[in-house]
Amino acid sequence: MISIFENIINEFENKRFIEKNDNRDRGVIYTPQPIADFMVINIFRIFFDEFPEIQKIFQKNCDYISLKQLFVKNKSLKERFEIKFRNIKILDPACGTGRYLIAIAKFLFNIYKALEFEYTDMVLKKKIIQNHLYGIEIDESAFIISKIRLLSWIYSDIDTSFFDESIDINSDLGEIEVYVNRFKLNFNIFIKIIF
């Protein structure tokens, strides 16, 4: 079942795709999700280049099961990697609708799972959003969609029908943002007003 959040995101992005020429004049380009995913994986390969054992795993399509097995065999490597990993802070200075942010969040989530942290998936996802991800956007509508995309990811593994009853897809994005803010998440996504 597609959640109300996914419907809102899809409707917004489809509308922006139709307005493509106007967007390009303003410098707005929406990167397809597979390309964002590919770029994120390659950035992390560079970031973790001091760990050749992990580099090999990342070159094989980021096999997180192999990464977990490597950490079980090599506690010292796990400890060194974890120190660097815990301090990751990532800024997308033009986050748009959050496609890079969600690709980064999913990547970090899988790394956390390989490191065997004792968090529930929902707590771990919130931790990633609040401690690792930062974004800046000039388009207020895209800024709100970024938050919706991340919120949708947090709750993707549970029944979201209770969301659907309390929000109307035809609401304007301002009303939807008020609804999103009720979740009390510290999104590190900021709107930059240009004068």
Three-state secondary-structure class, residue 17: helix
**Residue 3 near residue 164, CB atoms below 8 Å:** yes
Q: How far is CA 192 from CA 29, 93, 94, 96, 140, in A?
A: 17, 10, 10, 12, 9
Six-digit token string for 88: 């990751």
pLDDT digits 0-9 by tens, 5-17: 787 888 888 776 6
pLDDT digits 0-9 by tens, 97-150: 999 999 999 999 999 999 987 889 999 999 999 999 999 999 888 999 999 999
Integer-rounded Cα radius of gyration of the chain: 18
Q: Higher pLDDT residue, 30 or 170?
A: 30
